[in-house]
């Protein structure tokens, strides 16, 4: 039987170790943004392990990448990340990753709370963050209210802000019809700069900085983080010739 001094010594040793002590739960890691977020969670130094929600059993050669069959038992995690998929999210045929749509946000949040998550991050699809189509919108207000009531110590919602949406409303049809080149010219700089990789890096930095309570992060805030923390990742403005 382990004595109390032994337990205390073990905790002190863990605290002094250079290995990260926190663990993460990653849900809905599909699409360009989901894949980048997952790559940085697993490849970064913030987490000891990352439990990844899957819909079918898979193996893993990484000690940090821990596949978890959603609904089969319960894992324990400090932080939870949910990438929400929409109709434009590309999911390869046969992908083992469990997909979550906007209608499943609350059930995913409740699942995360059951796993002990105290900091939860909900991430809109990349197309919404970039305002690349007319359907780009904030999550349903009732969904956001319900999210707040789940009881997380920190809740970070990464989605278009009101200012982002006001700018995007008149651009959706044009962007769909003539493609990305014109979008690069017309969209404001803070959205144009957000590739999946830079958006993922910026949103994880926003999560690190998030205070207790609810934080709303939009494209403008993500671009500011890219400029401040990763200026080399901000692409040059498109020149009109």
For residue 55, what is the domain's CATH number? Answer: 3.40.50.720
Say which DSSP state 115 is in: T
Confidence band, pLDDT 50/70/90 cuts, at residue 24: very high
Domain-embedded: residue 3: no
Domain-embedded: residue 238: no
- C-beta of residue 29 within 8 angstroms of C-beta of residue 38: yes
Taking residues 105-109, what's their average pLDDT?
A: 96
CA 164 to CA 167: how far, in whole Å? 5
CA 149 to CA 28: how far, in whole Å? 21
pLDDT at 173: 37
pLDDT at 191: 54
Domain-embedded: residue 149: yes
The per-residue pLDDT for range 154-208, each reduced to its tens digit, is 999 998 876 665 555 444 433 333 333 333 334 455 555 578 899 999 999 999 9
pLDDT at 182: 35
Residue 129 domain boundaries: 21-233
Domain-embedded: residue 225: yes
Domain-embedded: residue 181: yes
CA 126 to CA 135: how far, in whole Å? 12
Domain-embedded: residue 205: yes
**How many structural domains are present in the chain?**
1
Cα 11 to chain center, whole Å? 30
Give the number of other CB atoms < 10 A from CB of residue 116.
14
83 membership: H or E segment, kind and range: strand 79-83
pTM over the 0.85 mark: no
Please give the structure tokens belonging to residue 98: 């469990």
Confidence band, pLDDT 50/70/90 cuts, at residue 63: confident
**Closest to 143 measured CA to CA, from 89, 115, 107:** 107
Confidence band, pLDDT 50/70/90 cuts, at residue 139: confident
The per-residue pLDDT for range 215-230, each reduced to its tens digit, is 999 888 888 899 898 8
Task: List strand residue ranges (DSSP E) for 109-175, in order.
Answer: 119-123, 154-158
- Cα separations (Å) of 68 from 31, 51, 121, 186, 219? 19, 6, 18, 42, 31
Domain-embedded: residue 162: yes
In this structure, of 7-16, 27-36, 133-142, 229-238, the range with the lowest mean pLDDT score is 7-16
């Amino acid at each position: 039987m382990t004595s109390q001094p032994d337990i205390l010594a073990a905790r002190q040793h863990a605290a002094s170790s250079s290995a990260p002590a926190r663990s993460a739960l990653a849900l809905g890691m599909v699409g360009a943004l989901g894949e980048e977020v997952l790559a940085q969670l697993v490849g970064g130094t913030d987490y000891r392990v990352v439990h990844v929600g899957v819909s079918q059993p898979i193996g893993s050669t990484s000690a940090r990448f821990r596949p978890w069959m959603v609904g089969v038992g319960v894992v324990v995690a400090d932080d939870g990340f949910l990438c929400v998929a929409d109709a434009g999210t590309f999911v390869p045929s046969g992908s083992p990753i469990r997909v979550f749509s906007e209608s499943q946000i609350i059930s995913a949040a409740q699942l995360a709370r059951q796993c002990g998550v105290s900091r939860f991050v909900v991430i809109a699809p990349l197309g919404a963050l970039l305002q690349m189509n007319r359907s780009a919108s904030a999550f349903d207000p009732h969904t956001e209210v319900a999210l707040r009531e789940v009881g997380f110590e920190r809740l970070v919602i990464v989605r278009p802000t009101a200012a982002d949406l006001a700018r995007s409303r008149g651009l959706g049809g044009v962007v769909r019809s003539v493609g990305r080149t014109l979008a690069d010219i017309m969209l404001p700089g803070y959205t144009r700069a957000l590739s999946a990789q830079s958006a993922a890096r910026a949103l994880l930095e926003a999560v690190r900085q998030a205070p207790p309570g609810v934080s709303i992060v939009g494209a403008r805030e993500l671009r500011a983080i890219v400029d401040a923390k990763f200026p080399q990742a901000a692409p040059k403005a498109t020149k009109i010739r």
